[in-house]
Amino acid sequence: MSVVVLISGRGSNLQALLEAGVPVSAVISNRADAKGLQIAAARGAATQVLEHRGFATREAFDDALAAKIDEFTPRLVALAGFMRLLTPAFTQRFAGRIMNIHPSLLPAFQGLDTHARALAAGVKLHGCTVHFVTPELDSGPIVIQAAVAVRAGDTADALASRVLRQEHVIYPRAVRWFLEGRLVIEGSAVRVKGNDAQLIFAAD
């Protein structure tokens, strides 16, 4: 029932998972200075660092990363601010049991700088998405989304802060659903057994 979490930075979504009681057995980072490693260690989770800069190719790094993950035999791999594009071979190896949290309402604003791009596009709703990871960037089956209203005068930082609060709500929920065996992937869609809400409209 364990989860391995991959991080690159501060680890706020990792912390949300841990505080929600998700059984995180290990946290692996591609950066030794990732603050999330301290959060994991303080909670008793094993920590590993695998610097991508020590590998000649993306494929070599992903092979080594997969081997590290397999040491913990996790039921789920959760990406939490892991700033690496994963190879198709890696995503296929963990198909159906690797998730990501993305700061936009996918399929809108795939990739980086989502909050600034949302403001530039003039959208009225923005948010975050938990999805299964597939070889295509930010394109896997969607598990749950949370939407926030874009306010007049919003900055990218202000919008990001409100979205991040919702990330901390929906990521633990999606992981719990997975561990409880409640998620059913049906083509490009995901159904939750028990019909829990898969779209949240945040009040703030």
1-15 pLDDT per residue, tens: 699 999 999 999 999
How high is the pLDDT of residue 19?
97
Establish how many alpha carbons lie within 13 A of residue 8's alpha carbon, considering only the half-sphere containing its beta carbon. 9
Q: Answer yes or no: is pLDDT of 195 > 90.
A: no
Q: Is the pLDDT of residue 203 over 80?
A: no
Residue 62 CA to residue 56 CA, distance in Å, equals 11
Distances (CA, A) of 121 to 94, 106, 108, 185: 34, 14, 10, 31
Residues 177 and 196: beta-carbon distance below 8 Å: yes
Record the tokens describing residue 152, joined without a space: 């007049």
List of domains in the chain: 1-94 (3.40.50.170), 100-204 (3.40.50.170)
Rounded to whole angstroms, the Cα distance separating 46 from 20 reads 18
52, 102, 115, 168: the catalytic one is: 102
Structure confidence at residue 33 (pLDDT): 97
Mean pLDDT, the chain, whole residue set: 96
Whether 52 is catalytic is no
- Has residue 42 got a pLDDT over 80? yes
